[in-house]
Amino acid sequence: MKLNDAVLGAVFCALGLWIVLYSAGLPKPRHLSYGPGLFPTLMGAGLIVCGGIQTIAGLLRWRSAPIVERPAWLGHRRLILNLAVIPAACLFYYVAADRLGFLFTGLTILVVMLVVGGVAPLRAAIVGLVMIVVVTMIFASILHVPLPWGVLAPISGRFIW
Amino acid sequence: MFITRSLAFGLALSAPVAAMAEVAWPEKPSQLVVIAGAGGGSDYVLRLLAAELEKNAGQPLTIVNQAQGGGVVGMTTYVNSAPDGSTVGQMSPFAQYRMMGQADFTSDSFTPIALVNMDPAAVTVAEGSELTSIGMIADRLKAEPASLRISCGGGCSASWDIPFVSLMLDEGVDVTKLNLIPATGSAAGLQELASGGVDIVLSSLPETDALRDAGMVKNVAVFSAERLERYPDVPTVAAEMGKDVSGGTWRGIAGPAGMEPELVARIEAAVKVAFDSETFQSGMKDRGFGAVWMDAATLAGFMKDHELQTERVIDALNP
Amino acid sequence: MVISTVLSNLLDPFLIFVVFAAALYGLVIGAIPGLTALMASALLVPFIIFMDPIPAVAAIVTASAMAIFAGDIPSALLRMPGTPASAAYTEDAYGLVMRGKAASSLGAGVMASAVGGLFSALVLSLAAPSLASVALSFSSVEYFWLGLMGLSCATLVTSDSLVKGLLSLFFGLALATVGMDPTSGIPRFTFGSVDLLGGFGLIPVLIGFFAISELMRNACIPTETRQKLPPVGPILRVSLRGLWSHRVGVTKGSLIGTVVGILPGAGSDIAAWISYAVARRGSKRGRRMDDDGALERITVASAANNASLGGAYIPATVFGIPGDAISAIVISVMFIKGINPGPTLFMNQPATIYTIFAIFFLANIAMVPLGILMVRAFGAVLRLPPVYITPLILLFCIVGAFSVENTIIAVAMAAIFGVLGWFLAANGIPLAPAILGLILGPLIEQTFMTTMLKAQGDYSVFFDRQIGSWLAYVTIAVWVVVLGSRVIGALRERRAARPGAS
């Protein structure tokens, strides 16, 4: 997923511009003529300047690079799936963990990722179950990380040692 | 005579049993949200309390530290949870969040349960400072309100500076000109004091122990009605100024709004047993934290007063 | 008298057991990508509350020292730094491993960490009270200049494009401003969301940028064509020889680390970055882009990284002022156990405090054999098929992001920064400067704003204080030299390239 330098620079420039505009609306504290907006404004300005240089450098070499370089993995469904499953797993955890609990959410993530990676489903289920039980025991039961229990909440007292 | 004696005897016998039976919380695995990081003063006080509660009820009470956003994140977590007693949280000064546009908590957002700790604010100066009493500080600020650099020992418009500004308001100081400087915490504020970066630090007394023992700082006043047992040499603001201004930080337990009175009473009773325990009392004393008890009804009134005092100070600071 | 009490304290079998268990715990947590030294320390608190004072403090001191070193292991073997400090030299360490020099790379890390730790332990035992008062002469002015000096390191860790390095730095600094403004309390860039009010935590961003983005980078390379992890080989001999050959670097790193560590508010992250920059620019050897140059830089930065921990205990034990999140936890454990930090601690309970220092000393010696053992074990685990490793690492990333922040949004943030980091890395934007910006941004902004509030807007205050003005001139000189040399270098390259191009 490689963008042309000019496009990338422009994206940063736009981000910097937005930060500067947003910061202008922040109130100022007592006694001073500048406040919480000062630092973001400077950072936004930095992004605009560096993004600008990047854009110019990219425009000078505009012909040598395409706007978006087509990465090799786009041709393989397997690799796309491999890639997409990682952020998808985290987002699934974000959405489901409070309701399902860490154990079942984690189990789902592990089994799906193992199957996507090419492990046979039954084997994936067994390996995933062992992994999640061990991780839950270490972090929730022994180390007392307040991982969500979800559906197991009413009986979770027995699993916290 | 005989009757009263046997009655007293019977009561004495049944008291522990009754206490045990009353400890009906947490009756299932529950969470206590602490609005500060692992290892701070709040974490210490509430972990001490939670350990007792857990031991008495035989159910886990897990501490969840959520210090983000100066405590707003943690309070939001428990205010938005189900009012069934499975999630409660730390009750500490909250009124400033709404006035500073950070959150919209009022005292109605919570169900107060109990207060277990109160630490009055203290005024500390560097050793060798010409300001040796709170009276001198007030006179100086009356003449030139901006002449002293005052570290809030944390964020400003919070626990430590509100009683101070409140006193200065009463004294007729033009508080809008006060030079209040925020710090990342009491330790950072005291470091500034030791390096000559500020003139006054507002914090609790135990936090100044190490530097006072080193002979680098001096406590000039404490915002409480009476002198503290642990610090008999530190005069009170009440005695020095003749004005009963007290305040500081306080820690208690509250839940989301809408908890059943019966449930609140049950939690309050369990917390009271933990509060009275030898472990909690001596643990608080060891570190100089003030063990102060307030039941749910008293805490509710106290929270209203806190809102009024905070409102008065913040309005005066930002006319 | 004190020495004999300390020795008899150390012979307590329970204490030895606790130190050993804490060492293993710290090493394992630190070595697992996604799990950090901060998490290792925070999770210990509920356990040690119920122990005797000395074992309790010993456990947390040992575990944090081990976890900070162990952060180098996934950094070298997986390109996933385990601590923000190891992010400075991840590229060097991973590059060496991939060129078949795993033993020298990790050996240099373990040896330099141990020596740096021992050096700072020595300074700690001999001079804690007198050095601590020096640390107390630093006010917000000095920290402001120190922070600005630290920022200059960003230009040094980016070898190819200065503009891309600066873009990353500004991006990191901008990220640091999200959430409640620490000075005024005004929410910035939060759009009314409580989740954003807390800002972007350093650890979830670190996990996203380095661990998750690296998993994604590997996921789109077919398994067959992925580069295999070369065998590690014997470590001890190689690393002892390497240690002697880099003795100047180790000394330099230990010194810088201890000094930066003593300053509360700086901490091990900044120590590692500054010493890395010194190694990279300050010596002919460190400037070289070959294996020996990389080893020199790793040695200096690893030594500094662990030395800063001992340095941080100086203001922590003498004045109760923490240098970073980890020493803040150590201080509160000391308070909880009645070992109240303060100058009186050295007078009233000398045996206790020197026993703790002795344990820090022993922990750094034990780091060598245990660290090598851990490298071996971890190397063996990584030889399992990646199909099994990837989901497990992701699960650790989730647990790690969650356990430091205790909010579920931290997991979503790690995922978002994972995608972002993967995208930025694919476009040649280095990620390390963004992490540096996220570490230093709040320090620089807060110290600038509080200084201005104190001085009521008078800028001359930045040059008025004695130490402050010295730091100011050094910082300005560093920036002029750093930017000047980069710009001149770039112009020279362009001039050299021009005749060929036309």
DSSP letter for each residue of B98-138? HHTTS----GGGEEEEEEEEEEEEEEEEETT-S--SHHHHH
Does residue A30 sit at the B interface (CB-CB below 8 Å)?
A: yes
Residue A145 pLDDT: 84
Residue C184 lies in a domain: yes
For an interface test with C, which of A74, A86, A111, A123 has the most C Cβ atoms less than 10 Å from its Cβ? Answer: A86
Phi, psi (deg, nearest 5) at residue A156: -65, -20
Locate the chain B residue with the closest alpha carbon to C178. B69
Q: Which residues does C80 contact at the CB level (< 8 Å), separation at least 6?
A: C33, C34, C74, C90, C210, C211, C214, C393
pLDDT digits (tens, 9 = 90+) for B64-95: 989 888 889 999 999 999 999 889 999 999 99
Per CATH, the homologous superfamily of domain B120-241 is Periplasmic binding protein-like II (3.40.190.10)
In the predicted structure, residue C114 carries a pLDDT above the cut 70: yes
Burial C252-289 (b: 16+ CB within 10 A, else e): bbbbbbbbbbbbbbbbbbbbbbbbbbbbbbebebbeee
d(CA B319, CA C57): 49
pLDDT digits (tens, 9 = 90+) for C156-188: 666 667 888 899 999 999 999 999 888 888 889
- Residues of chain B with Cβ-Cβ distance to A154 below 8 Å are 28
Beta carbons of A110 and C395 less than 8 Å apart: yes
Residue B2 pLDDT: 39
Confidence of residue C351 (pLDDT cuts 50, 70, 90): confident
Verify that A80 and A21 share a domain, yes or no. no
Does residue B142 sit at the A interface (CB-CB below 8 Å)?
A: no
Residue C257 lies in a domain: yes
Beta carbons of B102 and C180 less than 8 Å apart: yes
Average pLDDT rounded to a whole number, residues B237-248: 87
Beta carbons of B64 and A146 less than 8 Å apart: yes
Element (H, E) at B43: helix B41-57
- Residues of chain A with Cβ-Cβ distance to B29 below 8 Å are 149, 153, 156-157, 160
Task: Please indicate whether the domains covering B13-119+249-317 and B120-241 agree at the CATH topology level.
Answer: yes
Which of C220 and A21 is assigned the larger pLDDT? A21
Q: How much of chain B exceeds pLDDT 70, in percent?
A: 92
> Which domain, by its residues, includes A147?
73-159
Of B28, B65, B90, residue with least CA distance to C43? B65
Beta carbons of B157 and C45 less than 8 Å apart: no
Residue B11 structure tokens: 């009561």
d(CA C102, CA C93): 8
Instruction: List the single range of B228-237, C327-336, C409-418 with lowest mean pLDDT.
Output: C327-336
Verify that A41 and A99 share a domain, yes or no. no
Residue C500 lies in a domain: no
Name the minimum distance, in Å, from the CA of B130 to any CA of chain A: 26
Confidence of residue B4 (pLDDT cuts 50, 70, 90): very low
Residue C25 lies in a domain: yes
pLDDT digits (tens, 9 = 90+) for A140-149: 888 888 888 8
Strands B248-256 and B87-91, sheet pairing? antiparallel
Locate the chain B residue with the closest alpha carbon to A98. B81
Give partners of B (≥3 CB pairs < 8 A). Answer: A, C
Strands A2-3 and A68-69, sheet pairing? antiparallel
Beta carbons of A160 and B60 less than 8 Å apart: yes
d(CA C85, CA C68): 8
Does residue B68 sit at the A interface (CB-CB below 8 Å)?
A: no
Length of chain A, in residues: 161
Verify that A35 and A107 share a domain, yes or no. no
Average pLDDT rounded to a whole number, residues C228-233: 76
Beta carbons of A145 and C167 less than 8 Å apart: no
Residue C381 pLDDT: 85
Verify that A105 and A78 share a domain, yes or no. yes
Strands A2-3 and B61-65, sheet pairing? unpaired
In the predicted structure, residue B22 carries a pLDDT above the cut 70: no
Residue C502 lies in a domain: no
Does residue C387 sit at the A interface (CB-CB below 8 Å)?
A: yes
Q: How many domains does the structure of chain A reveal?
A: 2
Locate the chain C residue with the closest alpha carbon to A107. C395
Q: What is the DSSP string of C264-307?
A: TTTHHHHHHHHHHHHHHHH-HHHH--SHHHHHHHHHHHHHHHHH
pLDDT digits (tens, 9 = 90+) for B180-204: 998 888 888 888 898 888 999 999 9
Phi, psi (deg, nearest 5) at residue C412: -65, -40
Does residue B65 sit at the C interface (CB-CB below 8 Å)?
A: yes
Q: Which residues does A85 contact at the CB level (< 8 Å), separation at least 6?
A: A112, A113, A116, C219
Mean predicted lDDT score pLDDT of chain B: 87
Does residue C441 sit at the B interface (CB-CB below 8 Å)?
A: no
- Residues of chain A with Cβ-Cβ distance to C453 below 8 Å are 29, 31-32
In the predicted structure, residue B109 carries a pLDDT above the cut 60: yes
Residue C112 lies in a domain: yes
Mean predicted lDDT score pLDDT of chain A: 87
Look at residue A69 and give its three-state secondary structure.
Answer: strand
List the 331-390 stretch of C: residues with Cβ below 8 A of B: 331-333, 335-336, 338, 340-344
Beta carbons of B68 and C198 less than 8 Å apart: yes
List the 89-148 stretch of B: residues with Cβ below 8 A of C: 96, 100-103, 146
Confidence of residue A32 (pLDDT cuts 50, 70, 90): low
What is the complex's ipTM, to 2 decimals? 0.92
Residue C501 lies in a domain: no
In the predicted structure, residue C113 carries a pLDDT above the cut 70: yes
Task: Yes or no: say if B302 and B89 are a contact pair by the CB < 8 Å rule.
Answer: no
Q: Cis peptide leading into B26, omega within 30 of 0? A: yes
May I ask the CATH class of domain B13-119+249-317? Answer: alpha beta
Q: What Cα–Cα distance (Å) separates residue C341 from each residue in B212, C318, C352? A: 12, 6, 11
Verify that A131 and A151 share a domain, yes or no. yes
Residue B252 pLDDT: 94
Residue C158 pLDDT: 63
Does residue B162 sit at the C interface (CB-CB below 8 Å)?
A: no
Beta carbons of C331 and B192 less than 8 Å apart: no
In the predicted structure, residue A158 carries a pLDDT above the cut 50: yes
- Residues of chain C with Cβ-Cβ distance to B209 below 8 Å are 320, 340, 342
In the predicted structure, residue B8 carries a pLDDT above the cut 70: no
Beta carbons of C187 and B43 less than 8 Å apart: no
Length of chain B, in residues: 319
Average pLDDT rounded to a whole number, residues C144-150: 86
Residue C246 pLDDT: 85
> Which domain, by its residues, includes C425?
2-228+237-494
What is the gyration radius of the CA atoms in chain B, in angstroms?
A: 21
Which of B45 and A67 is assigned the larger pLDDT? B45
In the predicted structure, residue C266 carries a pLDDT above the cut 70: no
Angle at C442 between CA C456 and CA C329, to 5 degrees: 115
A69, A96, A128 - which closes a domain: A69
Verify that A120 and A61 share a domain, yes or no. no
Locate the chain A residue with the closest alpha carbon to C47. A143
Which of C200 and C83 is assigned the larger pLDDT? C200
Average pLDDT rounded to a whole number, residues B20-33: 77
A46, A69, A92 - which closes a domain: A69
Largest CA distance in chain C: 80
d(CA B89, CA B79): 8
For an interface test with C, which of B62, B191, B198, B203 has the most C Cβ atoms less than 10 Å from its Cβ? Answer: B191
In the predicted structure, residue B10 carries a pLDDT above the cut 90: no
- Residues of chain B with Cβ-Cβ distance to A144 below 8 Å are 62
Verify that A49 and A77 share a domain, yes or no. no
Q: What Cα–Cα distance (Å) separates residue B191 from each residue in B38, B91, C76, C236, C435? A: 22, 28, 38, 43, 27
Look at residue B228 and give its three-state secondary structure.
Answer: strand
For an interface test with C, which of A7, A94, A111, A133 has the most C Cβ atoms less than 10 Å from its Cβ? Answer: A94
Which of C75 and C46 is assigned the larger pLDDT? C75
d(CA B247, CA C117): 44
pLDDT digits (tens, 9 = 90+) for C186-223: 889 988 888 888 889 888 998 999 899 989 988 888 77
Strands B149-151 and B200-204, sheet pairing? parallel
Residue C499 lies in a domain: no
In the predicted structure, residue B11 carries a pLDDT above the cut 70: no
| Residue C88 φ/ψ region, left for φ over 0, alpha for ψ in the -120 to 50 degree band, beta for the rest | alpha
d(CA A101, CA C402): 13
In the predicted structure, residue C147 carries a pLDDT above the cut 70: yes
d(CA C69, CA C426): 29
d(CA B293, CA B302): 12
In the predicted structure, residue B314 carries a pLDDT above the cut 80: yes
Which of A78 and B13 is assigned the larger pLDDT? A78
Mean predicted lDDT score pLDDT of chain C: 85
Does residue C325 sit at the B interface (CB-CB below 8 Å)?
A: yes
- Residues of chain A with Cβ-Cβ distance to B318 below 8 Å are 30
Residue B23 pLDDT: 61
Locate the chain A residue with the closest alpha carbon to B62. A146
Q: Which residues does C44 contact at the CB level (< 8 Å), separation at least 6?
A: C22, C25, C59, C60, C63
Verify that A93 and A147 share a domain, yes or no. yes
Residue C1 pLDDT: 63
Name the minimum distance, in Å, from the CA of C441 to any CA of chain B: 14
Task: Yes or no: say if B292 and B115 are a contact pair by the CB < 8 Å rule.
Answer: yes
In the predicted structure, residue C391 carries a pLDDT above the cut 60: yes
Instruction: List the single range of C255-259, C411-415, C417-421 with lowest mean pLDDT.
Output: C255-259
Element (H, E) at A18: helix A5-24
In the predicted structure, residue B19 carries a pLDDT above the cut 60: no
Task: Yes or no: say if C465 and C141 are a contact pair by the CB < 8 Å rule.
Answer: yes
Verify that A83 and A137 share a domain, yes or no. yes
The CB density around residue B159, as the number of other CB atoms within 10 Å, is: 25
What is the gyration radius of the CA atoms in chain C, in angstroms?
A: 22
For an interface test with A, which of C205, C395, C447 has the most A Cβ atoms less than 10 Å from its Cβ? Answer: C395
What is the gyration radius of the CA atoms in chain A, in angstroms?
A: 24
Which of B108 and A144 is assigned the larger pLDDT? B108
Q: How much of chain B exceeds pLDDT 90, in percent?
A: 51
Q: What Cα–Cα distance (Å) separates residue C75 from each residue in A146, C71, C119, C277, C369? A: 27, 7, 24, 18, 19
Task: Yes or no: say if B102 and B69 are a contact pair by the CB < 8 Å rule.
Answer: yes
Q: How many domains does the structure of chain C reveal?
A: 1
| DSSP category for residue B193 | H
Verify that A61 and A80 share a domain, yes or no. no
d(CA B285, CA B279): 10
Domain ranges of chain B: 13-119+249-317, 120-241
User: Which of C169, C181, C403 is nearest residue A36 as measured by Cβ atoms?
Assistant: C181
Name the minimum distance, in Å, from the CA of C194 to any CA of chain B: 6
- Residues of chain B with Cβ-Cβ distance to C204 below 8 Å are none
Q: Which residues does B17 contact at the CB level (< 8 Å), separation at least 6?
A: none
d(CA C243, CA C252): 13
Give partners of A (≥3 CB pairs < 8 A). Answer: B, C
Average pLDDT rounded to a whole number, residues B147-169: 90
Does residue C171 sit at the A interface (CB-CB below 8 Å)?
A: yes
Task: Yes or no: say if A94 and C408 are a contact pair by the CB < 8 Å rule.
Answer: yes
The CB density around residue B306, as the number of other CB atoms within 10 Å, is: 21
A69, A104, A126 - which closes a domain: A69
Task: Yes or no: say if C7 and C357 are a contact pair by the CB < 8 Å rule.
Answer: no
Q: What is the DSSP string of A75-98?
A: G-HHHHHHHHHHHHHHHHHHHHHH
The letter for the amino acid at C314 is: I
d(CA C113, CA C108): 8
Residue B204 structure tokens: 């609790």
Residue A132 pLDDT: 94
Name the minimum distance, in Å, from the CA of C296 to any CA of chain A: 31
Task: Yes or no: say if B281 and B291 are a contact pair by the CB < 8 Å rule.
Answer: yes
